[in-house]
Amino acid sequence: MSVATSIDPKQVHEIIGRHQLADGYDMVLDLDKSHGPWLHDAGRGEDFLDCFTCFASWPLGYNHPGLDDPDFERELLRAAKCNPSNADLYSREMAAFVEAFASHVTPEGFDHHFWIAGGSLAVENAIKTAFDWKARRLGRTDFNDNVNDLVIAHFQYAFHGRSGYTMSMTNTLPDKVGLFPKFQWPRIMSPGIEYDLEGNISNDIEALEARALAELEAFHDSWSRRDGYKHIAGVLIEPIQCEGGDRHFRPEFMHALRAFCDKADALLCYDEVQTGFFGSGKPWMWQHHGAAPDVVAFGKKAQVCGIYAGPKVDEVEDNVFVRSSRINSTWGSNLVDMVRSRRFIELIVENDYAANTAARGEQILAGLRRIAGDTGAFTNPRGVGSLLAVDYADGDARNAAISRCYDERLLTLPCGPRSLRLRIPLNMTEQEADEVLNRVEAAAKP
């Protein structure tokens, strides 16, 4: 018996709670008995159907048989027995991961990569890339030059993380960023789509988009006696705003942001920490819209967090992908994560889980529309691939629905003021997706 397996599951919360805030799920994850989309609670001895997937970070369910591959297990153990500083010390294991990611996950034409641990830090480095780029575009190449007039335009309902720079742009629940000093960067209204039960857009989205773009233009043109002129270094947006309420955007809006960035000489930065790595049924959510970014931050399902960037960064010499140490960290992500990510990439490609994700998304969305029509319990069903959501009348009704789902042994997540979100594994089967719908229906009404 190992140190961990000698612990009685019933003691887990008590032991952890003795030393830290332990107000997470009241279950105990059983790493052996959890399988596929079934999270086994060692405390209750029961399975939960997992549409939480560790905050959309666990791509292929638990104990995928493809992880039993002996070569992979040996590689994982080798990597786990060492913790190299990958940013500056390279290994064959790292080379195998970088090759797999660059050839199967990164789209054509994006030649720069940077790896780090944590989605917030991925986003931070995306905007550092934009700041450095814009400063140099303005001719400020001396490290003593003042660049405090550079800003990042971002959106209402955005969630980009809880680290230094990202807190100035995250604006979901106030407890995430309140009482911490922040930068006053331009916050643009967010023109999110609402859908009827046939999947048609039911709000005046063109008017909302026009307002958002007008706000962006007004900021770009503005000069104030107090602040002087602020230069937009980048526009940062999640292609679907997840934490803020699964708010979808039209391709037309994303293309308008692209055009704005070209005009304003700013980098278009996407935060795909939650939407990326095949979660939408394509490697990246932005590929559904077709408006190509300059920099993309990723994390979660990819296991390894970081950024990839396209040719616009090369328009300045000495950019952060050329000049050593402008962006860096000791571990440059983590080698164990790299080995695991590489294996996930192989499994996703071999089994075409991207196509499966797209099909399961359509299946569940159709079911959510039917349940909404039959029960009237929720509205605005929406989703693409593994990223699905519905709206309740208010936050209380939503929270009650989440706890009824829990009673049905279905794990879901809240987002935004009154939305419930499902985040399914990419390899969910048709039968398992039907079971998700059965449980959503059972929990639909009090």
Ligand X SMILES: Cc1ncc(COP(=O)(O)O)c(C=O)c1O
Q: Interface with ligand X by CB under 6 A: which residues? A: 55, 118-120, 123, 159-161, 238, 242-243, 271, 273-274, 299
Query: Across-strand partners of 270?
Result: 237, 296
Residues 6+ apart with CB under 8 A from 65: none
Question: Taking the CA of residue 36 as centre, how many other CA atoms within 13 Å lie in the half-sphere pointing to its CB?
Answer: 9
Phi, psi dihedral angles at 318 (to 5 degrees): 60, 25
Rounded to the nearest whole angstrom, what is the least distance from the CB of residue 245 to ligand X in the complex? 12
Rounded to the nearest whole angstrom, what is the least distance from the CB of residue 400 to ligand X in the complex? 24
Q: Which residue is nearest to ligand X (CB)?
A: 119
Rounded to the nearest whole angstrom, what is the least distance from the CB of residue 444 to ligand X in the complex? 26
For residues 372 and 384, which CB has a smaller minimum distance to ligand X in the complex?
384
Rounded to the nearest whole angstrom, what is the least distance from the CB of residue 13 to ligand X in the complex? 22
For residues 43 and 245, which CB has a smaller minimum distance to ligand X in the complex?
245
Q: Which of 248, 238, 304 is nearest to 271 (CA)?
A: 238
Rounded to the nearest whole angstrom, what is the least distance from the CB of residue 183 to ligand X in the complex? 17
Rounded to the nearest whole angstrom, what is the least distance from the CB of residue 426 to ligand X in the complex? 17
DSSP 348: H
Q: What is the distance between the alpha carbons of residues 388 and 275, in angstroms, rounded to a whole number?
A: 11
**How remote is the C-alpha of 428 from its chain's centroid?**
19
Rounded to the nearest whole angstrom, what is the least distance from the CB of residue 267 to ligand X in the complex? 17
In single-letter form, the type of residue at position 258 comes to R
Rounded to the nearest whole angstrom, what is the least distance from the CB of residue 163 to ligand X in the complex? 7
Q: What is the distance between the alpha carbons of residues 136 and 320, in angstroms, rounded to a whole number?
A: 11
Q: What is the distance between the alpha carbons of residues 319 and 420, in angstroms, rounded to a whole number?
A: 41
Q: What share of the chain is helix, strand, coil (3-state, %, to 5)?
A: 40, 15, 45
Provide DSSP, 69-108: -HHHHHHHHHHHT----TTTS--HHHHHHHHHHHHHTSPT
Rounded to the nearest whole angstrom, what is the least distance from the CB of residue 223 to ligand X in the complex? 32
For residues 9 and 417, which CB has a smaller minimum distance to ligand X in the complex?
417
For residues 166 and 356, which CB has a smaller minimum distance to ligand X in the complex?
166
CA separation (Å) from 424 to 66, 103, 176, 291, 394?
19, 25, 25, 26, 24
Phi, psi dihedral angles at 73 (to 5 degrees): -65, -40
For residues 62 and 155, which CB has a smaller minimum distance to ligand X in the complex?
155
Instruction: Report the phi/psi class of residue 270: left, alpha or beta, with left for phi > 0 and alpha for psi in -120 to 50.
Output: beta
Rounded to the nearest whole angstrom, what is the least distance from the CB of residue 119 to ligand X in the complex? 2
Residues 6+ apart with CB under 8 A from 189: 155, 156, 208, 211, 212, 215
Rounded to the nearest whole angstrom, what is the least distance from the CB of residue 10 to ligand X in the complex? 29
For residues 43 and 385, which CB has a smaller minimum distance to ligand X in the complex?
385
CB atoms within 10 A of CB 41: 19
How would you classify the pairing of strands 305-309 and 112-116? antiparallel
Residues 6+ apart with CB under 8 A from 243: 159, 172, 274, 415, 416
For residues 299 and 306, which CB has a smaller minimum distance to ligand X in the complex?
299
